[in-house]
Amino acid sequence: MTLADLHALLAARASTRAFAPTPLPRERLAALFATAQRAASWCNIQPWRVAVTEPPHTEVVRAALVAAARGGLPSPELPFPINYPAPYDQHRRACGGALYAAMGIPRDDKAGRYDAWLRNFALFDAPHVAIVSVDKRLGPYALIDVGVWLGTFLAAAAADGVATCPMASAVAYPQAVRAHLPIPADHHLLFGIALGTPADAPANACRTDRSPIEANVTFVA
C-alpha cells in the first residue's frame, strides 16, 4: 500500500448515521479488532477495553439508551465539551450544518432536530455497537492511547468496507450502558462505535471537510 492509497482510503471514510439491519459475521468483526490491536500505546499498555454487541443484545442496549435519552439529561463519565473557542467553534458549526443539510432539516425545525438527536441513542439502527472504556487508574496518556486505537480501528473498518460512526452519545447515559454490558466499575466509559453496513438514507450523504495542514502543522527549520 502506498501513501496515496492510504490517503484515498481515509479521504473516502465518513461517519455513517443510518445503518441497514443486517449484522456482520463475528469473524469479520474479530478481524477488524485484530487489526486495530496493532495500535501504538505508551509502553505498549494497550489500555482500550471494548464490549461489542451482536443481535439480539444490540436491541437491549438501544432500547435502554433511547429510554434514557427521552427521560433525562446526559451525564457522561468524562465531561462533554460545551463551549468551543475559535477556531474550533467554526468547525463544530460546519459539522452540524453539514449533517442537518444532508438530512434536510432546517435550522428552525426544533422537532426535526430533536428527532435527529434521538437517532444517536437509537445507534442509527446499527446492528452492533462497540462500547469502549479505560481503567480509571490510568492517566490522560491512556486516553491518547485509546484515541490512537480508535483511529486505527476506523481505518481498518474503512479498508474492509465496514460502516462506522464513533459516538460519544453512546455513553452519554452511563447507567443505560452499564446495566446491560460488562463494563468494570473501575473503568471510565469513553465512547461507542456503531458498526454495520450503510442504509440508503440522506444522513449518509453528510461529508465534512478538513483544513489545509497550515492550520494544524508548523514546520520549523
Ligand X SMILES: Cc1cc2nc3c(=O)[nH]c(=O)nc-3n(C[C@H](O)[C@H](O)[C@H](O)COP(=O)(O)O)c2cc1C
Where along the sequence are the contacts to ligand X (CB under 6 A)?
14-15, 17, 95, 120, 165-169, 191, 208
- Tell the smallest beta-carbon distance from residue 116 to ligand X (Å): 9
User: In terms of CB distance, is 73 or 221 closer to ligand X?
Assistant: 73
Minimal distance in Å, beta carbon 208 to ligand X? 4
> Closest residue to ligand X, Cβ-based?
169
Q: Cell numbers for 139, please give them.
A: 492517566
Cell of 90: 467554526
Q: How far is the CB of 156 from ligand X (least distance, A)?
A: 15
**Nearer residue to ligand X within complex by CB, 157 or 165:** 165
Q: Which is nearer to ligand X, 127 or 192 (CB)?
A: 192
Distance of closest approach, residue 54 Cβ to ligand X, in angstroms? 21
State the Cα–Cα distance between residues 109 and 14, nearest whole angstrom.
Answer: 25
CA geometry: angle 186, 189, 192, nearest 5 deg: 150
Give CA separation, 90 vs 19, 85, 86, 100, 175, in Å.
28, 9, 7, 15, 33
Query: At its nearest, how many Å lie between ligand X and the CB of residue 17?
Result: 6
* C-beta closer to ligand X: residue 43 or 86: 86
Closest CB to ligand X among residues 162, 167: 167
